[in-house]
Amino acid sequence: DQQVKQNSPSLSVQEGRISILNCDYTNSMFDYFLWYKKYPAEGPTFLISISSIKDKNEDGRFTVFLNKSAKHLSLHIVPSQPGDSAVYFCAALMNSGGSNYKLTFGKGTLLTVNP
């Protein structure tokens, strides 16, 4: 049973417009949510995170929104740039005992920003 779901395998937007990537989760015990960006032939890199007690976190062009009641989060990129073209993974963090935390990833969404 997948606990973190990214239902859109791909998204295509025009340069300068807004990109909205969505993510749903099922486990209310997650205490942090993170977005990772991955280019081909590279490892994922951390982009932005949000605590489960917050509803918004902003960092430059990137904003993550969290709706706990709906168990839904979204990543907004404004304005989108061609260099943002990558696979975006949503991930959820939970304490699995003591000081051990584990990330659970969604399947990813391929974002293509067209010039």
Partner 1 sequence: NAGVTQTPKFQVLKTGQSMTLQCAQDMNHNSMYWYRQDPGMGLRLIYYSASEGTTDKGEVPNGYNVSRLNKREFSLRLESAAPSQTSVYFCASSTRSQGPSNYGYTFGSGTRLTVV
- Using the minimum distance from each CB to partner 1, give the nearer residue, 14 or 26: 26
Contact flag: residue 60 with partner 1 (CB under 8 A):
no
> Which of 28, 42, 69, 115 is the binder for partner 1 (CB under 8 A)?
42
Radius of gyration of the chain from its Cα atoms, rounded to whole angstroms? 14
What residues from 71 to 100 belong to the interface with partner 1 (CB under 8 A)?
Answer: 89, 93, 98-100
Size of the site for partner 1 (CB under 8 A): 26
> Which of 1, 43, 83, 115 is the binder for partner 1 (CB under 8 A)?
43
